[in-house]
Chains A and B, each alone.
Chain A
C-alpha cells in the first residue's frame, strides 16, 4: 500500500475516498446495517479501486510530474452514479463511479463468449434480456482539466452551485465549469511581475458552503483573504482580510514558517472557518477579521524544538483539519500517529493514537498524553520519544455521524463512537 495523500467522505458519508502517492484512488463503502451481522454495522469495505493519475514528464522543464493525488472532492450525488474530482500537481480529473449489476444476454450478432456469430447461421431474431450479474463497480474518467496550472495544485473546491469548482496552485486560482475542460477563468493571481519579489504563496482555498460567490484562500504568511466574485472578474483585491497580530514576545526566525496556513475549511454552517498552522488550529468568525474567536494548541511542546524541526524539514509538514457534522468539534493530526480532537463547547480536548500495535480492533482508544517536562508519568510519552516520521496529515469526519477516518502514512484507520 502506498502513502495515503488525501481522505474524503462523500456528502452522505456512505463512501470514503482515499488518494495515494502512487496516483491510485480507493473508495470504501459503508456496509448497510443488518440484523444478522450486528457487528458489521458501519464497516467500510473496499468498493472501487482505480488508477487516477499516472506519472508524467514535463519535457520543457525536464521535470517529473508526480502522480500523487493531492486532493479528492466529491460532487453531490444527482443520479445513481457517483462523481468525484481528483487532482495531482497539474491535472484535475472528473471520475464517474457507477455500478453495473445486470448484463444483457441473447445478442443476435454475437454469442455468449462474445465471438461473432456467422450471419448466415442466424435464422431467428431475438430480443436480448437483462440478467443479474455480480456487482461490478466501474470508474471512468469523464473530464480531464489540464494545462491550466503552472505551479503545483494544492486545493480544489466544488461550488455550492454544483456547476463550477475552483483549483488553486501556489500563485493562482482558477474557476472551472464542470462541463468545460478547455477553458478556465483565472480569478486570483498573486504572481509578482518580478519573481524575485515573491515572498508569499497561496497554500489553500475553498468555496463558501452556501454562498456561491464567496471563496477564501490562505497564504504562507498566515493570512486569509475572503473574496467575492461579484465584485470583479479578477479577485486580486479581497473583500475581507483575516490576520491575527503577531505576539512579539514569541517572535523568532521561525515565526513566519509556523504561521503559514496549511489548511482552511469553512464550517458546515458557513458562519465560521478554521485554519491550521504548524502548532495550532484557529476558528475564525467571518464577521471578525482581526483575530480568531478560538485557538487550539495542537502540540505546543514542539515550539522549543523548532530548529530541529526546521533542520529535518518537519516544520514544512502540511497538516489538515476538519469539522464534525454539527461544527461542535474539530480534529487535526500530529506526530507519532497522534491525532487531536477539540470540543468547541466544553473546551475539552483529547489526544488519540492511530496504531495497530497500541490498540486492538474494536477496543476503545486510550487517551494519550505527551510529557512536556519534568517527571514523566506512566503512560505518558516524552517529546524526545515522538516519532516524527509517523505523521497524521490527513483526517476526515463523517458528515453526519461520529465516524472518523485517519490516514497514518500508508494505513487508513476508521474510528467510530462506541456502540452500546
Chain B
C-alpha cells in the first residue's frame, strides 16, 4: 500500500503470541499508541534537517501534534482511568488522564511491550489494516518526565531497552542514510549536549545560521542524567538522555 520503505509490521493484536498477558494488552493500548505517535513525531522533527531548508508548515504541524500529546499526557490523572476497550469511545472523548509516574512503574512490572504489540485504539479511528504500522523507535519508551531523571533512567537501563534502542537507532540511520549520507558522519561528531526542548528544535529550524544535519545519537550507555529543563517538556526530557537533538542556532 505504501510503496517503498521499511518493511512494515502488522499491527494486529491477535498475531502476537509472546506479548504481555491479554489483560494488560487490553488496558494499555491507548497509552502505547499515543507514545508511539509521540516517538514517531519526534523522529520526524529530527529528520527535518536536510540539505534544503525544512518545510516549516510540516514542522509546525508535527510540533503541534507533539504538544497536544504532551499536554494530554501531563493532564492524565490516574493510570487506571484508561477504560477497557469495551467502554467504547467514552474515555477518548475527553483528555484521558494517565499518571506518568504510575505508568512507568506499571511498565516495569509488566515489562515493556514492543511496538508490535500495539494497536491503535478507536480514538485514532484506525482500522487494523495489515499494513498499518508504526516503527517508532522505542527509545523514549514512556519514561516519566516528571521523575527525577536519575531514578527513571537507572530503572530502565535494562538489556531489553538497549536492544530496542539499538534497533531504533538502526532504523533512524537507515532512513538518514537514504536521505543524506553526509549527515551520518555528523551523527558522530562531538556535540554540545545541552538540553534542547521542542521549542528550541522549532526555533533552530527557523535557522538564522547554518543548520547542518542535526541528529546526534550518543551511545546507549546510560548517561549521567542532565538536569531537567525548564517546564515540563515531557518525553523530550527523556529523549535528551538517549537521542540528542543538535540544533545549531
A residues apposed to B, CB below 8 Å:
58, 60-66, 89, 151-152, 170-171, 195-196, 198-201, 203, 220, 248-254, 256-257, 260, 303-308, 310-313, 316, 384-389
Contact = CB atoms under 8 A, between A and B. Distances in A.
A257 B37 CA distance: 14
Nearest to A219: B57
B131 A308 contact: yes
Interface stretch (B79-87, B122-130, B161-169, B185-193): B122-130
B202 A312 contact: no
Given A201-B60, A260-B61, A312 B53 contact: no
Nearest to A203: B57
Nearest to B38: A253
B205 to A, nearest CB: 9
A312 B134 CA distance: 10
A63 B199 contact: no
What 10 A-B pairs are tightest by C-beta distance, nearest first?
A62-B210, A196-B199, A170-B56, A195-B203, A304-B127, A63-B53, A316-B58, A384-B1, A389-B3, A257-B61
Given A307-B132, A384-B1, A252 B123 contact: yes
A316 B34 CA distance: 20
B236 interface: no
Interface string B30-65: 000010010010001000000111011110110111
Given A195-B203, A308-B2, 13 more contacts: A63-B52, A63-B53, A199-B64, A200-B60, A201-B60, A253-B34, A253-B68, A253-B69, A256-B61, A304-B129, A306-B124, A310-B37, A311-B134
A20 to B, nearest CB: 16
28 contacts: A61-B53, A62-B211, A63-B51, A63-B53, A63-B210, A170-B57, A195-B206, A196-B200, A199-B60, A199-B63, A201-B56, A201-B60, A248-B93, A249-B93, A251-B93, A252-B124, A253-B34, A253-B68, A257-B65, A304-B129, A305-B126, A307-B126, A307-B134, A308-B132, A311-B133, A311-B135, A316-B58, A388-B1
B212 interface: yes
Contacts of B113: none
A316 B45 CA distance: 13
B53 to A, nearest CB: 5
B57 A254 contact: no
A66 B203 CA distance: 22
B124 A253 contact: yes
Nearest to B33: A307
Contacts of B134: 307, 311
A66 B52 contact: yes
Interface of B: 1-3, 5, 34, 37, 40, 44, 51-53, 55-58, 60-61, 63-65, 67-69, 93, 120, 123-127, 129-135, 199-200, 202-203, 206-212
Contacts of A63: 51-53, 207, 210-211
A257 B65 CA distance: 8
A58, A201, A385, A386, most chain B CB atoms within 10 A: A201
Contacts of A254: 65, 124
A392 to B, nearest CB: 16
Contact of A196 (B52, B65, B126, B202): B202
A256 B207 contact: no
A311 B5 CA distance: 11
A392 B52 CA distance: 23
A316 B202 contact: no
A252 B125 contact: yes
Nearest to A382: B1
B132 A260 contact: no
A152 B53 contact: yes
A316 B2 CA distance: 15
Contacts of B199: 196
Nearest to A303: B125
Contacts of B52: 63-66
Contact of A310 (B40, B51, B57, B200): B40
A64 B60 CA distance: 21
A306 B125 contact: yes
Nearest to A390: B3
Contact of B57 (A196, A250, A260, A313): A260
B174 to A, nearest CB: 15
A200, A248, A253, most chain B CB atoms within 10 A: A253
Nearest to A314: B2
B57 A61 contact: no
B207 A305 contact: no
Contacts of A386: 1
A312 B2 CA distance: 8
A60 B206 CA distance: 13
A312 B133 CA distance: 10
Nearest to B49: A63
A250 B125 contact: yes
Nearest to A200: B60
B228 to A, nearest CB: 18
Contacts of B93: 248-249, 251
A260 B65 CA distance: 13
Contacts of A312: 2, 5
A312 B208 CA distance: 29
B1 to A, nearest CB: 5
B37 A307 contact: yes
A24 to B, nearest CB: 18
B61 to A, nearest CB: 5
A305 B129 contact: yes
A67 to B, nearest CB: 11
Given A196-B199, A307-B132, A62 B56 contact: no
